[in-house]
Structure 1
Amino acid sequence: MRINTKVIYITFIIVILLLVTNNTSYYWYTKSLLTEALSVRMESTANQIRTSIEQSEEGSFFVEDLVGENLRSVALFAESKLDPDIDKVTNEQLVQLAKQAGVDGFSLMKRSGKGDDIMVGKSSEPKELQITSTIPFGYWFTAFNQLMTNHQVTIPEGQKLHNFWSGIYEVPASGSSNVSKFGYYYNGSTNYIICVFVNAAKIQRFKEIVGADTVVRKTLAANPDILEISGLHGITFGTKPIEYKGSDGSTFISVYDRPLLFGTYNISSAKDLMYYKQSIENNKPVSVVEDWNGKPILKTFVYVPVKNKLTEVQREVPYVISITSDYQSIQQTLNKQLVQLLLIVVLFTVFSCVFIYFVFRFMTKSRETAVQTTQELYIQNVDLMFATIRSQRHDFLNHVQTMYALLANGKKEDQMKYMKELLEEINEVNDIIRIGHPAIAALIQAKYALAMRTKIDFHYEFTGLDGLSLGVKSVDIVKIIGNLIDNAFDEVNKFPPGEREVIVNGWSESNQVTISVSNPVQPDFEVEDYSSMFTIGYSTKVDGEHQGLGLSVVKERIEHYKGTIEVSVEDGWICFQISIPMQ
């Protein structure tokens, strides 16, 4: 018989389509795996950067706090040297005092004539005298006001000591220096706040040595495939930060309000703000593949929230670490794999075509034998089908003949009784819970009906019990499970409807069957010794029958079959778990 050429062509096309689909799926699956691996590595790198930055920031904060403590000591020294009345202190006197104390300057701050405002009245720095109002300074003014009113500062920002407050090192509003560290002292014995300040160049130098930018540089040097690392402020990035106005009318942004806290941000896109917000809202890393200047890149955004404050002087701000890495290495790997896959497809297709050709030849030669075998098998199946139909017909006729005979003899009541029994049998078969053990199935069905009446949310799941010999008498397994469920029902009935829940699970493993019954308990439920729960007479019920007998029966039956029972209470739930060896 001639080989059907059309069938061969169709088969070849199907094989080629299957191969292309399989290899395309493998290609994309490999791509996703490589992308995910790179994303995970970038997330790990971001977490390493986070840890290094936290350690360096703690160190810089420690240095800054030491400077603050020294400023307080200098302020105490100045208090002993100055007249308590600001009008009796001169600017020249403050200049000499600054030289004597080894600081950059002193300023004396007092209430202005405009309500509660606070201004600089005297200073060793002429530019500081231009500060006639501190209300625009935000929380700095709040600190000044609290210090002058209550002699103590309570706001969360800054360093707070006895009669003293020091803000973060900052750009002076007077523009007298690039960055300075200010300390403010007031104990009520003077009519002014003593402000002492020093240039914060040393703090900045410390940050340059061990700070975030140094961590970023070292990370970039150790990972050539990382193109850029950015520390994006968790609040001000993508928005216009608060601008403060100096005494000369110029505006400046706080050191800790800068949108870019560390690193660089040259590789940017319009969607960065969206991914930035996603990482913050979900508190999960976000990784995306984009095209930048004609080459693929992977961007990973990791949110770093503010830690729970361990001390009152922490000044962390939330931020997002953005890492941009080169995606070309993955693309090159994928292209190489694609070429290999195409080669495999071609070779396998040729092999498949040759193989199918010989298969078709073999099929053609054995076609008559196959047809004959198929006909014989079909006849056998038809015979089996008729035998099954005859058996069903026989049973059906028996039921019909019985009901007809009862009806013909006028025995209507007997007929109704017979039909009722027949219907009950059918319903029982249809309603049986497919658990695998008839006794357990019947018990669960009964408890489910009881749970519905008492408005208990009853959940159950049994697996692996089909056809197993549990090695336990049905009456005993019903006693054990039934008492545990009854005990659970009694406990949850103490809760209002809607909060009553009982969970029963059963499974077999390691040649033993395990049953667990769990339910919530009252908040004040306490048992120091769980073994006391299985003693006769123990009960948490205030009324009812058979108090204190159920759990003792459970323990006795389980020990009889050399099983074990464990009790645990966790998160407001109690769980009884029994394990019984199977025979």
Structure 2
Amino acid sequence: MKQAIFYWIYIALMGIVHLQAMVMNLSWKTPFYLTVLVAGILSYFLYRRMMLQLPVLGTWLHLLLFVMQLLILLVYTAEGPFWLNFIPVVLFMGLEATRIIGAGRLARLEKQAEQYEEEREHFNETFRIIRSERHDFLKHISSIHFMLDHGQPSEAKDYLDQLVEGYEETNLSIKGERGVVAGVLHQMHRRAKAAGISLVYDLDLPLSTLPLSDKDLVALIGNLLANSIDAAEEWQQEREDQALITLQFYKRSGLFLLICKNSTLPISASILDHLFVSYGKTTKGEGHEGLGTKLIQDIVSHHQGFLDFVHKEEEFTLKIKIPAIR
């Protein structure tokens, strides 16, 4: 937040310099305060509308851009026609647009790289759990067989109930799913369970049937569930009650419908209005960039889908519709 404020102050100052240099060649005299007012209003408008990811560029690149901006100002010292003053203004705006757009794209790439690494670990962990369960399966069967042979049916039933509960958790996640999707579902279920949140998967068919690439599918499901768990955790801490998350998936009339509902604290209208529209809008604290919701919207739009959400009575419902076309 502080970096963004300093950046827009810098933009306002540079804007004042450029505007003042341009109006000095006009036939009429323009008050200095008017130049300051115009530059200030434009900078404030951009500050309110844009999300910056400038730290990803590094200090040296920012310093290089700053030096280039100072060199551009030297154009004003040259004698020439009035239109010559437009060149440094265009270069100034071009450099800053390159800085902002480049930083945003690099930040998204870094976030995707982090997600891929995280999902790779999830996949490996899920595979390890499945191998462990398969490795121990015969041992569990032998234990149950021993209890039954020695007239301990109640102990055998209790043991079997515990065993089935553990297997059901894994089976809910991997049933019919591709490996990367199973990894996401399994790890999100474990994360919710560790936080004391009730996460229910109500899937009529595997999520892997969605006509999305593995990359987009992992990003969509991962961001969707991660945002829901974060919101549910905050609600749970504040309300001191168990939060609930449900993920539904089914197909109707040529459309895949993905619906996620989660407990959430009240969300301000200013955030809801731009939640899936622009980067930087988040229901979480300052430590979050607000990238997840916009990434969800980008993926849905890229596949000609539709996204709608409702926030009512401390429950957030997100509905995604994607055509069943490959």
Q: Which TM class, normalised by the smaller chain length?
A: 0.3 to 0.5
Larger strand share, 1 or 2: 1
Which structure has the higher relative contact order (CA within 8 Å, separation 6+)? 2
Q: Give the TM-score normalised by structure 2.
A: 0.44
Larger helix share, 1 or 2: 2
Larger radius of gyration: 1
